[in-house]
Structures are given as structure tokens and as C-alpha cells.
Amino acid sequence: MVSRRVRAINPWHRPLKAVLRFLFWLLLRIEVEGKEKVPQTGPLIVYFNHANWLDPVIVAGVIDRELFVMGKEELFRHRLPGAILRAYGVFPVRRQQVDVQAFRRALQLLERGAVVIIAPEGTRSHTGVLQPAKTGVVRLALRSGALLQPAAVTGCLSFEANLRRLRRTRVRVRFGEPFALSSHERATSSKEELQRLTDEIMAKLAALLPPEMRGVYAQVGDQLKPTSAAAEEAGLPEKRVASR
């Protein structure tokens, strides 16, 4: 896929991002590390850890490029909030099934050289601990040839409590190095290979998080174990690991 700077796909994105950043200034104290690593052109999939509803909002707000966010379809049930989300660049995905329409939308955006933000876990952990990831992000990267970039978010779990006390919440975002899946990997598509690649990209995300937040991906690096093996070693079923 050829890297290129795209014209604005969504004219509402920039003004809405200005409003969002004003709210950040009002309510949060955000520290961003590695922002200079975010490519300024070309298709890019940014994937992040999802513990709180604010996580994707933060990631989307600190990136300077126009971007699009894959969000659960429940967010669009009410007309006005749904319209605002769509205007910013959020598009719905059905989480309990393979959503072909959402996949195609993401693929089209990447083919136009855009940034797409996705949570590989598929749902919030509520505890800050990484859960087993689904293979959808890897499938999209293999199909599109887009770069992948991990973004680790910490601090959002205390937002509601701090808001009630009229305190600003300290949030940290750490961007890892962007990377591409090799041509060999793009040629393979077995279930086992997709899971292996998913574990590998989640290891890159886990490495950006504090050890206590790495969850089933606590053993990072070249010897990363599959999710099931990590759960077995911990002496817990995967569901307990995902929610501890």
C-alpha cells in the first residue's frame, strides 16, 4: 500500500477535535510519550488497551492527524450522541459477531491513507488489566498492509471519582514504535498463525504498560506464551485472568 497524505475525509473532525482538546485541558492532565513516533502520512492502525470508556477518547484526541474510531454499536442508539460521534469519525461495530460491514469500512479508510483506532480486546476490562485480544486487528493489518502502532493508556479509571471531587485526572499515553507485518506473515492466514500474531502485537502493547496491568500478556518478549498458556501458568481459567 502506498503511503500518502489524504485530503480531509471528514470536514467536522478538526473543529470537533478542538472542542475535545479544550475539554481535556479543563478536566485532565495528560502526559504523552512518543507522540513523535506517530507517522504523519499513510495508513495506520493504532491499537490500545481498553479499561475505561475514556481510553479511546484520549487516544483519538492526542493524535494530530484526522482519524476514525471503531466503537460499539450501542453508542449510536440515541440520535444526538450518535450524530456527534459519527461527525467526529466514530463508526459502529457489532462486538458479539464478525462484523463484515465494520471491517470493510475500516479497510476502505485505510486504503485512503487514514488512521483507524481499534481496541483489540473488544470490550472494556474495567480493571485496567489486559484481557485476551481478538484477532480482528491482525486480520485488518494483513488485509490492508497498514502499519500497526500500540498506544498504552493509564489513569482513566479514576476519572469519574476525580470528577465528583472536581479534580483533574492525570492520564498518561505512551506510543510504541510503528511496525509492519512481514510479507511472509501476510501470506498466511491459519487460525493458529492469526493467534500467534495477535499475541505478538499485544506483547508490544503490554511492554508499554506497568507490569500490574499486563494481565494475560504479563510475559512479554520473544517467548510470549499464548493466552491459554499464560492463564494455565497463573493457575486460573482465562475468564478469571481477564477480570482480576
55 falls within a domain: yes
162 falls within a domain: yes
Encode pLDDT of 61-77 as tens digits.
Answer: 999 999 999 988 777 78
8 falls within a domain: no
112 falls within a domain: yes
* Total residue length of the chain: 244
Q: What is the CATH number of the domain that holds 90?
A: 3.40.1130.10
Range of the domain at 170: 13-190
100 falls within a domain: yes
The pLDDT value recorded for residue 225 is 47
* Residue type for position 119: A
The pLDDT value recorded for residue 229 is 41
Spatial distance between the Cα atoms of 196 and 131, rounded to a whole number of angstroms: 15
Spatial distance between the Cα atoms of 183 and 193, rounded to a whole number of angstroms: 14
* Residue type for position 86: R
Spatial distance between the Cα atoms of 159 and 130, rounded to a whole number of angstroms: 19
174 falls within a domain: yes
199 falls within a domain: no
Q: Model-level pTM?
A: 0.83
Rounded-to-5 percentages of helix, strand, coil across the chain: 45, 15, 40
222 falls within a domain: no
The C-alpha cell at 90 is: 466514530
Q: Does residue 136 contact residue 99 with C-beta atoms inside 8 Å?
A: no
Q: How many domains does the chain have?
A: 1
The pLDDT value recorded for residue 93 is 84
Helix axes 13-27, 54-62, angle to 10 degrees: 110
Those residues of the chain that have pLDDT short of 50 are 1-6, 221-244
The pLDDT value recorded for residue 163 is 94
The pLDDT value recorded for residue 72 is 80
The pLDDT value recorded for residue 112 is 93
